[in-house]
Amino acid sequence: ELDKEKQDGETPDPLIPPAKITKEERMEWFRKKLPDLEVFQSTNLSRAFHDRVLKFSTNQCAIQFFMVWLSPARTFGPRDFLAVETLMKANPHSCLVLISRSLDTRRGDKILKALLDRGFKILAVTPDLASLVKDTPAETWLKKIKNVEIDPGENPLSVQLSNLIRLAVLYKYGGVYLDTDFIILKDFKGLRNAVGAQDVYQATRKWKTLNSAAMVFDKGHPILFDFLQEFATTFDGSKWGHNGPYMLTRVIRRVGNTPGYNLTILGLEAFYPVNWVQIERFFKKPATEEESKWVEETVLRLSEESYGLHLWSKITRKFVINEGSVIDRLIKSHCILCQDSYDS
C-alpha cells in the first residue's frame, strides 16, 4: 500500500484527461487508461460493499451519513478530516460510511484512528459501481462509459463518478450525503427529503440554484430515480456542475412539486450561508472593532441557523485560517481533537 501511495504521488491523476485535446483524442486516451482504472474494477473487496454497508448501518445509527472520496488517501487532508470530525461532534450517535477505495486500507485506518478510538461509528468501504447502479437508469450509462461509447469529458472523471455515487447510494440505502468541505454545526435530526438552496433571487428570496453537496433522502425516494435518469440521459463531462448542482436544479424545477414527493428546499442559511465570492472574509482575522463585532455576530448566526458551512474547497483550499476569524472560531467550538493543523 505504501509503495502504491508513493507511485500515486509521482504520476498524474489517471481520472484527469490531458488538456486541449479533441473529443476523439480524449476517448482514445480513456480507452487506453480504462484497464488500469481501479474504480471501474470489481474485486472481492468491492463486491462486499452491499453486505458491509448493511451490516454497519444496523449498528444503532441515529442517522446514516455518506461521504465519497475517490482520490488517493494521501490527499485526504486536515480540512477533509475536519468535515468528518465536526460531523461526529454534532451527530455523535450517527454512522458515517466513507465510500473510498483508498481509505479502505491500513493507511485509511490510521487517518481515522483517533475518531474510531473514541467510539465513533465510521466505516471506509470500497465501492462497487456495478452493484450501486444496478436496476437504476444509470446502469446503461456505466456500460456505455466502460465501452467508451460516450465522451468522459474535459473535467475529472472522479467528479462525475462522485456525482453518480451519491445519488445511487441514497437511492439504495437512504440517509444523508455530504461533501468533505463542510464544517458541520448542528444535529441533522428532523431533516427529511431535503436539499439546500445555493443561490436565491434577490427580489423574492425564492431559490434560484440548488446544490448536491448536501442531500437528505429516504431510501428509494422517486426523485432520486429522476436524478439518476437525468444524469444518464443528459451527461456532459465538459460542463462544470452540469451533472451535479445544475442537474439537481433542472430536475427539481421540473418535477419537484409532484404529489407525494414531499420535498423540502432549505434556505441559504442551511448549508450555503456564504458563496465562494465572499467567503474569503470568513478566513481573515478582524482588524477593527467593527470587524470583531461582525465576526461575533456571524459566528452566533451560523451556530443558530446553519446545519453546516460549505467551504467551497476548490476556492478556499489555499486560504490561511487566521486566528480569531469566523472559520477559526467555528472550528474551535465544533472540533473534537482540535488539532492546530487545519491550514494544510
Is residue 318's pLDDT more than 70?
yes
* Spatial distance between the Cα atoms of 199 and 277, rounded to a whole number of angstroms: 12
- For residues 194 and 271, the answer to whether their CB atoms sit within 8 Å is no
Of the listed ranges 36-40, 140-144, 217-221, the one predicted with least confidence: 36-40
Neighbours of 332 (CB within 10 A): 12
C-alpha gyration radius of the chain: 20
What is the reported pLDDT for 9? 44
Categorize the per-residue pLDDT at 6 as very low, low, confident or very high, splitting at 50, 70 and 90: low
Residue 129 pLDDT > 60 = yes
- Residue 60 phi, psi dihedral angles, 5° rounding: 50, 55
Residues 222-258 pLDDT 10s: 999 999 999 999 999 999 999 999 999 999 999 999 9
pLDDT band of residue 3 (cuts 50, 70, 90) is low
Pairing between β-strand 182-184 and β-strand 121-125 as defined by DSSP bridges: unpaired
List, for residues 254-277, the tens digit of each pLDDT value: 999 999 999 999 999 999 999 999
3-state SS, one letter per residue, for 265-330: EECHHHHCCCCCCCHHHHHCCCCCHHHHHHHHHHHHHHHHHCCEEECCHHHHCCCCCCCCCHHHHH
- pLDDT tens digit sequence for 145-201: 999 999 999 999 999 999 999 999 999 999 999 999 999 999 999 999 999 999 999
pLDDT at 60: 83
The bridge status of strand 194-200 relative to strand 207-217 is: antiparallel
Band of the pLDDT at 4, cuts 50, 70, 90?
A: low
Q: Looking at residues 317-342, what average pLDDT do you find? A: 91
Region 81-103: mean pLDDT is: 97
In order of start, what are the domains of the chain with their CATH numbers?
Answer: 23-270 (3.90.550)
- What is the rounded CA–CA span in Å between residue 252 and residue 43? 36
CA atoms within 13 Å, Cβ hemisphere of 6: 3
**One-letter amino acid for residue 209 of the chain:** T
> How far is it, in rounded angstroms, from Cα 272 to Cα 248?
15
Whether 13 shows a pLDDT value over 80: the answer reads no
Q: What does the pLDDT average to over 300-322?
A: 96
| Euclidean distance between the first and the last CA atom of the chain, given in angstroms as a whole number | 23
